[in-house]
Amino acid sequence: MASCCNSLKLEGMFSSAFRSSKRSSNAIWIPSSSSCNLYIHGFPLKNNSFSVSHSRSFTIKASSSSSTAIVEPEGIKITSVPTKPIEGQKTGTSGLRKKVKVFMEENYLSNWIQSLFNSLPPEDYKNGVLVLGGDGRYFNREASQIIIKIAAGNGVGKILVGRDGIMSTPAVSAANGGFIMSASHNPGGPEYDWGIKFNYNSGQPAPESITDKIYGNTLSISEIKMAEIPDVDLSRTGVTKYGSFTVEVVDPVSDYLELMESVFDFRLIKSLLARSDFRFAFDAMHAVTGAYAKPIFVDKLGASPDSISNGVPLEDFGHGHPDPNLTYAKDLVNTMYSENGPDFGAASDGDGDRNMILGKKFFVTPSDSVAIIAANAQEAIPYFQGGPKGLARSMPTSGALDRVAEKLGLKFFEVPTGWKFFGNLMDAGKLSICGEESFGTGSDHIREKDGIWAVLAWLSIIAHRNKDKKPGEKLVSVSDVVKQHWATYGRNFFSRYDYEECASEGANKMIDYLRGLASKSKAGEKYGKFPINPSTRCIGNCHLCILLLFDCLKFLIVGNYVLQCADDFSYTDPVDGSVASKQGVRFVFTDGSRIIFRLSGTGSAGATVRVYIEQFEPDASKQDMDAQVALKPLIGMLVIISTIYSFRQFTNKSYGCISDLALSVSKLKDFTGREKPTVIT
Ligand code: VG1
Ligand code: CO
């Protein structure tokens, strides 16, 4: 890894707005000179019924003996708080996520934050600048104060905090990294999730080499270094100094907005939004982009104020699940599919790094979205006027992007799931545009996926295609753009099935089983017949199997697929040589079809099994089909692959024919009450 020096230091994007303040005595508050209340004035981090007293749960407590003041450098007292290791603080795909109640347990958050400082070279943070953002969810206010005190206790020179603790993941990444208090697309509130992400080196999510170290340190931690400073008022912008330590509360939007203006042609987008024959809708899902939507889309680009829905960030996301997909952004989907609905719709997730793009009665899959942005970037987005350097996608994301890379003669990379794998390629100048099937799209303007960026990219493409259209002339729509793309490149039908909150043990066993199956498979093997092997023994106990068995009945007719390869995906980073293995079991067929199984690394309880299904269709006359219909044969086959071992588990009998299997299914359905995946995208 490249040297980490300066990685937490203030550089780049934010430097214009942040003044270096003069040294002053303890706890002096200096209002910011910029008009920071302009954008999210009155943003309510609600003090509602489920708020808890700051003093009750969130002060650091000594696990065994009482605290000792050890040093008093430059005016602040640092206390060493004894603590004990806590199990299970392992970072997942993107940050540490648990139920909020777990994070609220004694020293849970503090242990992890201290372990993080214990994992970094001191020169990376001593007297440096750290950014602290968050999505406004429940517990962020208390967590901000804990993080600030531990950062000060470890010698960080300055913390920049978004007002009210609000700053999106892309905005924190743009500021070269720091902490983001968010469980992203997971729901929030007292009964739900909390999480923390740490972005390092040039703003990218901390690599596994660091998160593994943090985890190691959580298992041996014995003290937390805590500055004895009062809680900082985060509700107004300005600077507060405690000895040599500074907290600056900043407007979370202005510098991010400036960055967006440098990437896109705002005049072009403005001209589209000004048209009476184009209607725009954005659903902020009561999450962090609520703070960004009005200043960017309404104030800057001229969209109508009522085009923004759920535009106020709330601690529990208004009882919603801030995951922009067809299931959880249902209101927007209904609006877009209604008669006389808007022409363009978009939504973003809890921390603002995901996006969903919709046209009138039309859903753009994220895998298509990144391919279409890449294909149109050079002509529609000034940032890419020299052409993108290279393209990349996560392994389960469909191959639509591969075809664009091939046609444009661009370098192409396939990386494991998780944005952290793109950063090195970007830093090395090999990658400009990338995406994940999980509603993540972005570019090397920052080191995170970026929800607002994706919306602006799509608006730019639509605006560019229509820039010469006179009033009254039919506009090129979102669906026109997508269908033209399919006609040129072919269509990769894609769907993902999520089975949330399965029992972990069974899910792990199922993946182990599939891994074994993949390793035994041989190229040229034919799939497509029901391959019941009566000697197969059940080894698992996973709800997925039950669900798949049920689904199996619906898809008995399977296609004829010839296996090209099957493996458990492993990735060697071409820049630093690091290896990430066991990243998902894939079955790839000779026609380009794929079935992939992996376990989610972002859940807070149990296991979520993700199944990805893809099939390529070059024939334009067949590209209009519904993805669920087009993928039926493959879905049937994945059911079969998954059930080879699993149907025995409840009966311990062999089944030689499908009717026997059917008999067992109804019992299984009775047992779980679940018939379908929790989410299909
Ligand atoms: C999921 C997605 C992955 C994404 C990650 C973080 O991970 O599949 O593509 O990078 O969430 O997104 P998993 O391990 O649950 O499949 V976010 O918006 O929650 O930071
Ligand atoms: Co997110």
Run means of pLDDT, 10 residues per run, the chain, 681 residues: 31 29 34 31 25 29 42 74 94 90 96 96 91 97 97 95 96 93 95 94 88 96 96 94 94 96 98 97 97 97 97 94 93 96 97 97 97 98 97 97 97 96 94 97 97 98 97 96 96 86 77 82 63 37 42 40 87 94 89 86 78 83 78 62 42 29 27 49 75
State both tokens at 300. 């800057």
- 348, 183 Cβ separation under 8 angstroms: no
Pairing, β 96-99 against β 193-200: antiparallel
Measured from the CA of 449, which atom of ligand 1 is nearest?
A: 18
Between CA 219 and CA 330 the distance in angstroms is 42
Whether 448 is in the pocket of ligand 1, judged by its Cβ within 6 Å, is: no
Question: What backbone phi and psi angles, to 5 degrees, belong to 675?
Answer: -110, -20
Mutation choice for ligand 1 from 91, 94, 397, 437, CB with most ligand atoms inside 8 A: 94
Q: Compute the distance from residue 558 Cα to the ligand 1 centre, in Å.
A: 31
Give Dmax over CA atoms of the chain in angstroms: 81
Q: Count other C-beta atoms under 10 Å from residue 30's C-beta.
A: 16
Q: Compute the distance from residue 145 Cα to the ligand 1 centre, in Å.
A: 27
Q: Count other C-beta atoms under 10 Å from residue 112's C-beta.
A: 23
Residues assigned a catalytic role = 184
Question: What backbone phi and psi angles, to 5 degrees, belong to 372?
Answer: -70, -40
In this structure, the residue with its CA closest to atom 6 of ligand 1 is: 94
Q: What share of the chain is helix, strand, coil (3-state, %, to 5)?
A: 35, 20, 40
Measured from the CA of 353, which atom of ligand 1 is nearest?
A: 18
Measured from the CA of 92, which atom of ligand 1 is nearest?
A: 14
Whether 643 is in the pocket of ligand 1, judged by its Cβ within 6 Å, is: no
Whether 185 is in the pocket of ligand 1, judged by its Cβ within 6 Å, is: yes
Instruction: For residue 636, give the H/E element and its range.
Output: helix 632-646
To the nearest 10°, report the CA torsion of 108, 90, 206, 455.
-90
Q: Count other C-beta atoms under 10 Å from residue 20's C-beta.
A: 10
The bound ligand whose nearest atom lies closest to the alpha carbon of 135 is: 2
The bound ligand whose nearest atom lies closest to the alpha carbon of 439 is: 1
Measured from the CA of 186, which atom of ligand 1 is nearest?
A: 19
Q: Residue 522: how many CA atoms within 13 Å on its side-chain side?
A: 2
- 50, 190 Cβ separation under 8 angstroms: yes
Whose tokens are 């001229």? That residue is 302
Whether 184 is in the pocket of ligand 1, judged by its Cβ within 6 Å, is: yes
Question: What backbone phi and psi angles, to 5 degrees, belong to 354?
Answer: -100, 165
Q: Compute the distance from residue 623 Cα to the ligand 1 centre, in Å.
A: 28
The bound ligand whose nearest atom lies closest to the alpha carbon of 602 is: 1
Whether 419 is in the pocket of ligand 1, judged by its Cβ within 6 Å, is: yes
Identify the DSSP state of 564: E
Question: What backbone phi and psi angles, to 5 degrees, belong to 242?
Answer: -125, 100
- At 80, the amino acid letter reads S
State both tokens at 41. 């004035």
Q: Residue 166 CA to chain centroid, in angstroms?
A: 17
What is the SS3 assignment for 196? strand
Q: Count other C-beta atoms under 10 Å from residue 43's C-beta.
A: 17
Instruction: Show Cβ contacts of residue 250 under 8 Å, excluding neighbours closer than 6 positions.
Output: 14, 17, 18, 32, 36, 160, 161, 162, 163, 237
Whether 93 is in the pocket of ligand 1, judged by its Cβ within 6 Å, is: yes
Mutation choice for ligand 1 from 602, 609, 678, CB with most ligand atoms inside 8 A: 602
Whether 237 is in the pocket of ligand 1, judged by its Cβ within 6 Å, is: no
End-to-end CA, the chain: 36
In this structure, the residue with its CA closest to atom 4 of ligand 1 is: 418
Instruction: For residue 81, give the H/E element and its range.
Output: strand 78-82
pLDDT at 146: 97
pLDDT at 30: 40
Measured from the CA of 354, which atom of ligand 1 is nearest?
A: 18
Whether 321 is in the pocket of ligand 1, judged by its Cβ within 6 Å, is: no
pLDDT at 289: 97
Whether 583 is in the pocket of ligand 1, judged by its Cβ within 6 Å, is: no
Whether 324 is in the pocket of ligand 1, judged by its Cβ within 6 Å, is: no
In this structure, the residue with its CA closest to atom 8 of ligand 1 is: 438
- 587, 515 Cβ separation under 8 angstroms: no
Between CA 126 and CA 155 the distance in angstroms is 5
Whether 349 is in the pocket of ligand 1, judged by its Cβ within 6 Å, is: yes
- 105, 613 Cβ separation under 8 angstroms: no
Which residues face 414 on adjacent strands?
393
pLDDT at 68: 43
Instruction: Show Cβ contacts of residue 49 under 8 Å, excluding neighbours closer than 6 positions.
Output: none
Question: What backbone phi and psi angles, to 5 degrees, belong to 144?
Answer: -55, -45
Measured from the CA of 608, which atom of ligand 1 is nearest?
A: 15
* pLDDT tens-digit readout, 475-493: 999 999 999 999 999 999 9
Pure H helices in 496-607: 504-520, 543-554
- At 147, the amino acid letter reads I
Q: Compute the distance from residue 603 Cα to the ligand 1 centre, in Å.
A: 9
HEC profile of 363-388: EECHHHHHHHHHHHHHHHCHHHCCCC
Q: Compute the distance from residue 418 Cα to the ligand 2 centre, in Å.
A: 11
- 606, 97 Cβ separation under 8 angstroms: no
Mutation choice for ligand 1 from 417, 494, 499, CB with most ligand atoms inside 8 A: 417
Sign of CA dihedral 327, 331, 333, 337: positive
Mutation choice for ligand 1 from 90, 93, 348, CB with most ligand atoms inside 8 A: 93
Whether 199 is in the pocket of ligand 1, judged by its Cβ within 6 Å, is: no
Mutation choice for ligand 1 from 438, 446, 497, 499, CB with most ligand atoms inside 8 A: 438
Which of these, 292, 233, 230, 248, lies nearest to 32 by C-alpha position? 248
Provide the angle, in degrees to the nearest 10, between the axes of the packed helices 451-465 and 366-380. 60
Measured from the CA of 438, which atom of ligand 1 is nearest?
A: 9
Q: Compute the distance from residue 96 Cα to the ligand 2 centre, in Å.
A: 13
- At 552, the amino acid letter reads C
Measured from the CA of 197, which atom of ligand 1 is nearest?
A: 20
Whether 394 is in the pocket of ligand 1, judged by its Cβ within 6 Å, is: yes
What is the SS3 assignment for 167? strand
Whether 173 is in the pocket of ligand 1, judged by its Cβ within 6 Å, is: no
